[in-house]
Amino acid sequence: MGVELPTTEFSDIPDELWLELESHAHDGAQGHAGQVQLLDEEGRFRSESKLAQSISTLSEDSLRGMYRDMAMIRRFDTEATALQRQGQLALWVPLRGQEAAQIGSGTATLAQDYVFPTYREHGVALTRGIDLADLLRLFRGISNGGWDPRITGFHLYTLVLAAQVPHAVGYAMGMQRDAARAAAQTATAQTAAAPGAGPSATADAGAPSAEPGAVVAYFGDGASSEGDVHESMVFAASFKAPVVFFCQNNQWAISVPSEVQSRIPLFNRAKGYGFPGVRVDGNDVLAVRAVTEWALERARSGKGPVLIEAYTYRQGAHTTADDPTKYRLSDEEQSWVAKDPLSRFEKYLRAEGIADDAFFAQVAAEGDAVAAKARADVLDFVAPSLEDSFRNVYAEPHPLIAEELAWHREYEAGFADENSGSAQEGGH
């Protein structure tokens, strides 16, 4: 009996050819493989590109909104870094330099999509309607999250490298099955309602939405070396899960350069799993938006996963506990400043007459207001009580937890007595 093996030739992807050609149409940065690009470093738009058609549907308000989001999240990022340096946050994970990759991809998602971030996707969080103050609760150490993923479609941050990627594929497979169930119920209801079919039937009140959605799984070039990513891509390919793997290749996995992570461009790894991969200029917000829209639509329509490698650069430290001067050269950093995503997009908006000095001044003022609010919010945060920390370990009361809480109270009381005695001796 013959066995039909899965194909790796992408025969079911009619538009794969042009994306493949487009991805090699432009020389990559620093001699690397080609990448999809719509805006060059001077902000000139490549209107002849096939991807330009999708961008042409964006209104001027949408384009200005994308720039505003990029500027807002950069200003917020700067303030959060300052708050950590001043002892108001335990840690901060900067995103400077990666704004286009995040805003471009985030604005491409729809309400029914679901996002699994790592710990640096502050820009994506903004596009999904997360209150920026809620991001800071985690980094102040007073919450395990700060927002409800069921409302925002934006999962909680994951601090363990790549741990969210299997979750993303599992969630996508769940969405896939929900969609199949909804389609079956719709077909049953239509059949029952046909003339002569007898009493009409209706779908269950708890039936899933028929509106197709997809999942975006964010991870970095360093996390791409984790087994979780490999296993996730195997499952996603095998079941044609509606998931977009979005790798922000910011060149450095803490202190390890990306060329040590992979001997081939990361997007080429997708071929080994049997689905398409594409490298996009991660500092070009329009190209990121167009490629992500294509990938998400492909996933929603049942054609399976895509790997997007956003080729970008982390301009700052990996976290505020890191010193990048110890492992990379200033010449490298300066070479990427010329590719800065905000300045590139600003040049485009000015050249096209979409934005002027007044707009950019207004955005700067709005950014300062966002930063001031973030600072005020952090200073107003109320830390959870010690009892809350113990209470949240288990769903139900537990005698061991109660014993540990009692010990800790006694331990803290000892410090209080010592401090009280010192104050009395000092005459205060």
Which residues are designated catalytic?
A: 314, 318, 327
Would you say 270 and 277 are in contact if contact means Cβ atoms under 8 Å apart?
A: yes
AA identity, residue 49? S
Would you say 276 and 13 are in contact if contact means Cβ atoms under 8 Å apart?
A: yes
Residues with Cβ within 8 Å of 146's Cβ and at least 6 positions away in sequence, in order, are: 134, 135, 136, 137, 138, 156
Find how far residue 214's CA is from the centre of its chain: 14
Q: What is the dihedral of CA 380, 383, 384, 385, to 10 degrees?
A: -120
Scan for tokens 């329509």, then name that residue: 301
Would you say 318 and 254 are in contact if contact means Cβ atoms under 8 Å apart?
A: yes
Distances (CA, A) of 61 to 64, 354, 355: 5, 9, 10
Q: Which of 214, 280, 215 is nearest to 247 (CA)?
A: 280
Residue 26: burial class (beta carbons within 10 Å; 0-12, 13-18, 19+): middle
Would you say 323 and 317 are in contact if contact means Cβ atoms under 8 Å apart?
A: yes
Q: Which of 81, 79, 120 is nearest to 102 (CA)?
A: 120
Length in residues, the chain = 428
Bridging pattern class, strands 252-253 and 256-257: antiparallel
CA distance 26 to 22: 8
